[in-house]
Chains A and B, each alone.
Chain A
Amino acid sequence: MAGILVYALHDDEGNFNKNSLGAISEAARLAGEAGGEAAALVVGEVADDACAALGKYGAAKAYRAKGVPEGLAQPIVDAMAKVMQDEGFSYALFGGGLLGFEIGAGLTARLNAGVTMEVTKVKVADGKLVAERPILQDSQVADVGYVAEPGIIIGRLNAFDANEGDGSADVVDVDVELSPWSSKATMVQRGEQRGADVNIEDAEILVGGGRGLGAADGFGLCEELAESMGGAVAATRAVVDAGWYPYAAQIGQTGKTVAPKLYLAAGISGAIQHKVGMQNSENILAINKDQNAPIFEFSDLGVVGDLHKILPKLTQAIKAKKG
């Protein structure tokens, strides 16, 4: 194997994304086993020392495409494709998140390469990479191999842990010519926060609300219950996009990742995109009227019933118990 190239996403302040750093560590581990080296690709005006610091996570080189804007996929497809081809990388690896899906998919078309997404684990067999992808609501895991190189692997959110050690990456500047269609989408505003700023990451008890609440005011039930337990309220993407609850409280694929002592899911179906953000909670209690909801497959206690009846009584009972 000739090497693995990882896209390292960063925010407007230049902080690298945790999932990208995890993907770099994973690439370094795989390169150690299969031969070749792990490298990262960074776009935009990122400082030398910030790029070199990717070496701490296992990148031997950091390719920097200064003229390529961050935040939209297609210019980064141009950069990834150029470095993959010029330097002869065997695989491209992306940490979980939205941009990784888009860039990986675009790269598939550009390089006529195989792609596997929602990957939770990567292993080496005969010097090649094999991606493990859970399918059919995580009821089975497919081992996916690549017929030819290069291959593209898109991780699931939080699939790869970032391991920080010593090391410094060599920073290599690359000139990338953008495809004509890559500059036809332009960012007007990036990373707008909508709604109140709430902190859910430090809470030991979280009451999460989903579509099953029925309407925005259903969150009142969650807030009362959370208050009775000294916890906070979180939400699914569907209800945040619908404007029922602030973005800062969102858990999942494009939101926050939490691991409280108790996660009480009220009216949440448990789609993979939500699951990846809360499955490491110590105790998961789900209330849902649909007995086939996927959330029951990974909850410790599942209650099949109407949350509008159960939540108010539960709040009362907890208050009474606490006196």
Chain B
Amino acid sequence: MKICVLVKEVPDAAVQKRIDPGTMRLDRSGEKNLNPFDTHAIEAAMQIKEGGAIPVEEVIAVTMGPDSAVRALHKAVALGADRSVHLSDDALAGSDVCATGYALAKVLESESPDLVLLGQQSDDGECYTIGAVVADHLQMPSLTQVIKIDVEDGKLRCERQAEYGYDTVQVELPAVISVGDAINEPRYPSLKAIMGAKKKQLDAKANGDVGIDGGMVGEAGSKTAVLALNPPPAKEAGEIIEDEDTNETVEKIVAWLDERKLI
């Protein structure tokens, strides 16, 4: 089978993120990294491939984003993907969730995967949703926030937490599965894999190459618009103690608790 892993380049966790007031979009300048949740999706793909319950011919990292997103693909390949696909087109800029899901589904369609894996959320925004949008476009079953995948008789047996406890769900292939960070501990790439990543096949695709209707993506295809940005409701800043002398710190904590009659 063929596994596609959707990955995304996001601002590094250490970067103070801001919205560009001119475009109302996230300012993506500064240090970037592979979305941490996506490393769990790549690891899940590698474990299915190495597990042997079902033969896996290829693991392909797929992304949509500007030129710099190539680095996220290199990292994904260093983590084990066999090759990568980069959808990049000026007309995609400003796509909302609806438009992004459509575009990703089109580029995935061109690879005809048996399984699409992705991280359950991106560090920079579209919480939890993109997997289910992509799945409906691809007309595949889907499950999000999965923390365990077993392959049984050519089907997936998945576990995840839902509103009332843990659910176990059987999913037929082809399918789209988003994974949570509890699913595995991603491996560290070897130096050899990092060095070799740039030599692996990377296909650059534009909208026309994968049949994307330009009217359905970018700002033109987006169905939502950010009308304004406001500060959050004011909240009094709390007191901060740096623990230098633990006995002193504990005294301060006890006094704070005592003042509020919590002891």
Contacts and interface: CB of A to CB of B under 8 A. Distances in A.
A252 to B, nearest CB: 10
A147 interface: yes
Contacts of A241: 147, 161, 180, 182
A239 B181 CA distance: 11
Interface in A143-193: 143-148, 151, 154, 179-182, 184-193
Given A114-B224, A184-B175, A300 B238 contact: yes
Query: Interface of chain A, helix or strand or loop or mixed?
Result: mixed
B165 A102 contact: no
B164 A301 contact: no
Interface in B11-54: 17-19, 24
Interface stretch (B81-89, B109-117, B190-198, B227-235): B227-235
B135 to A, nearest CB: 7
Nearest to A125: B227
Interface stretch (A27-35, A48-56, A66-74, A214-222): A66-74
Given A112-B98, A146-B223, A229-B263, A186 B170 contact: yes
Interface residues of A, number: 94
Given A147-B224, A313-B246, A136 B132 contact: no
B214 to A, nearest CB: 15
Interface stretch (A36-44, A57-65, A83-91, A93-101): A93-101
A19 to B, nearest CB: 8
Given A192-B166, A229-B263, A262-B257, A306 B243 contact: yes
A108 B168 CA distance: 25
Q: Which of A77, A113, A130, A192 has the most CB of B within 10 A?
A: A192
B58 interface: no
Contact of A305 (B135, B163, B242, B262): B242
Nearest to B125: A135
A161 B81 CA distance: 46
A202 interface: no
A141 B132 contact: no
A146 B224 CA distance: 5
Contact of A118 (B96, B127, B140, B223): B127
B1 interface: no
A279 to B, nearest CB: 10
Given A191-B167, A303-B249, A105 B130 contact: yes
Interface in A9-31: 9, 11-12, 17
A235 B199 CA distance: 44
A144 B161 CA distance: 29
Nearest to A315: B250
A99 B162 contact: yes
Contacts of A136: 17-19
B97 interface: yes
A122 interface: no
Contact of A302 (B101, B147, B240): B240
Interface string A238-262: 1011100001000000110000011
Contacts of B98: 108-109, 112-115
A151 B242 contact: no
A74 B176 CA distance: 12
Nearest to B224: A114
Contact of B141 (A148, A185, A291, A302): A185
Interface in B125-169: 125-137, 139-145, 147, 157, 160-169
Contact of B239 (A72, A187, A301): A301
Contact of A188 (B128, B157, B165, B225): B157
A269 to B, nearest CB: 11
Contacts of A238: 181-182
A304 B243 contact: yes
Contact of B171 (A12, A185, A313): A185
Contacts of A9: 163
Contacts of A148: 223
Q: Which of B165, B227, B263 has the most CB of A within 10 A?
A: B165
Given A296-B238, A300-B239, A109 B133 contact: yes
Given A302-B238, A304-B243, A98 B163 contact: yes
Interface of A: 9, 11-12, 17, 71-74, 77, 97-99, 101-106, 108-110, 112-118, 130, 134-136, 138-148, 151, 154, 179-182, 184-194, 205, 229, 237-238, 240-242, 247, 254-255, 261-262, 283-285, 291, 296, 298-306, 309-310, 313-314, 317-318, 321-322
Given A114-B222, A141-B229, A314-B254, 13 more contacts: A106-B133, A109-B132, A115-B133, A140-B19, A141-B231, A141-B232, A144-B225, A185-B169, A190-B167, A238-B181, A247-B166, A283-B260, A302-B241
10 contacts: A112-B216, A112-B223, A115-B224, A117-B97, A144-B224, A254-B162, A262-B260, A296-B238, A317-B254, A322-B263
Give 9 nearest A-B pairs by CB, closest first. A305-B243, A114-B223, A241-B182, A191-B164, A105-B132, A109-B136, A114-B224, A105-B129, A184-B141
Interface of B: 17-19, 24, 96-98, 101-102, 105, 125-137, 139-145, 147, 157, 160-172, 175, 180-182, 216, 222-232, 235, 238-243, 246-247, 249-251, 253-254, 256-258, 260, 262-263
